[in-house]
Amino acid sequence: MKKVFIKSFFLFSIMFAFISCETLELEPNIENPNALGLSSADPNFILNTMQLNLRDQSEDMSGTVDQAVRLSVTGATYNAQAGVTVLNGEWTRLYGFNQDFITLETLATGNDDLGVHLGMAQIMKAAMFVYMVDLTDGAVFTEANNPEIRNPNVDTGESIYTAMYALLDEGIQTLENTAGPAPTNDLFFGGDKNAWIRFANSFKLKMRLTTRLVTAAESTTAINALIADGNLIDSNSEDMEFRYGVSGPPFESRHPFFTANYITGGANYMPNFLMSHMRDANSVEDPRMKYYFYRQTTRDPRNAAELPCAGDSRYPFCNIGQGYWGRDHGDPNSIPNDRNLRTVFGVYPAAGAFDDQFADVVDSENLGGNGIHPVMLSSWVQFMLAESALTLGTTGDAATYLENGIRQHIAKVIGFYPAGDPGSADVDAYVADVLAEYTAADPSGKLDIITREWYISSWGNAIEPFNTYRRTGFPSFIVDPVFDLGPIMRSFLYPENERTANSNPNFEQRNNQDQVFWDNNPAGFIN
């Protein structure tokens, strides 16, 4: 679900402080107050802008790929979802970020007080470029933001990955070796440089797992080293996430899922297959069910006007009952007048309403929108280690990692609203069901279960499910579209705004069936 851009109150406050405190004091000493140079640049303002860009890039790329992995519902063809304008905003943001990085790096040269700033920036830059490469398999990197090069070359995804491993290591070393002060306002970790190091290591784990099909030996060695080092994100308190606020206009700070669904009625449809699985697949309902989904009513649709798919055998679900008004993937029907009836995002991650009221969203008692955007969670790290142990034979037991991941994520979700805790008996029963299924499965089935539980725990960020789907072909419970949406994209096209501006003859447009360098699975591997 491509988010509607919002201006965070963090950004406003930082901009206000910068304008009022910095610009006015410097104005008598510069010729043009509208063109401030490096000497007047505020490194804290630059760093916060970069952090917001990282959040926006993660959110927007999640919204770019979530329909492909059915975490949101669509009737549009995959070709339309991967058109030439789809990544315009993300591409532009990447190079705006990179220009800020260059500025901050220049300011930090020889300035020991900016060591933490620089280390954080190096780690964020690696994440930004990896996000892009995983979608486009290439980007302008070595010649990026060079004013003397009008038509820069595109670097390969493989070469950028290599450079980003080095940059992550450099960022870690920068943080380890600096005694400089924390930034004024670290929007993710409150200035804790050790937390940034854990995130950098966890991101390296993600990269090594992503490329395991083409770099099995290197990935195995590197992942074992990360496990031995013991400095990964391994508890919910260490999670990398952006926390939203509760302020409404004029300085909107609430979660975009909340603002889209809790002000004038539901805007998104929840996927029927996921709701059905979480409710019915095990001996107990998934303990996160009432946290993920909020029903505005307990009644079911009454007629075809409310449920256009009714009676059509081509729909595997259409309606799953008990007031869960969702939609099947690929449903091309028109939208009924059901904004105050359809099921919407609940407590997690949007900080909406807990599913025990059955009132329309406008009148619901809710958490006010101060939810999170998850970037890297401890539970995800456990699922990564589970896949790695199963497929590469890395250190540790895959079943133990799987159980850790499930339990950590359930605990995180329940922590959003402890009053809704279903109790330890239901959590234990859910875990026991999954582990029994895992024990009985063959290696392929075990991988399917790991990716399925990771998928469910990725609610709120579709980036890893999309990578995992292309890498493994799992989870298998993802449903086929009701109607043919064409071949699913294996990658995305270079954005039109770059193609228009860059006339480098080596900058050739891609096809959305072209595979990124780490995806060596056959054509038609996913659908």
pLDDT of 493 above 70: yes
pTM for the full predicted model: 0.92
Q: What is the pLDDT of residue 37?
A: 64
Mean of pLDDT over the chain: 92
Helices (H) and strands (E) in the chain, counts: 18, 6
Is residue 343 within 8 Å of residue 293, measured between CB atoms? yes
Q: What is the pLDDT of residue 39?
A: 65
Residue-wise pLDDT for 271-281, tens only, equals 999 999 999 99
Architecture of domain 38-233+489-501: Alpha Horseshoe (1.25)
- Determine what percent of the chain is predicted with pLDDT higher than 70: 92
| DSSP code at position 486 | -
Place of tokens 């339990």: 407
**Peptide linkage before 481 cis (omega within 30 of 0):** no
32 vs 180, more confident: 180
Residue-wise pLDDT for 7-30, tens only, equals 333 333 333 333 333 323 333 333
Q: What is the pLDDT of residue 200?
A: 98
- Please give the Cα distance from 319 to 300 (Å, whole number): 8
Over residues 379-400, mean pLDDT: 98
The answer to which of 171-175, 452-456, 508-512 has the lowest mean pLDDT is: 508-512
Q: Where are the domains of the chain?
A: 9-37, 38-233+489-501
Torsional sign, CA 255, 257, 258, 264: positive
Is residue 372 within 8 Å of residue 243, measured between CB atoms? yes
- Please give the Cα distance from 338 to 379 (Å, whole number): 35
Over residues 452-477, mean pLDDT: 98
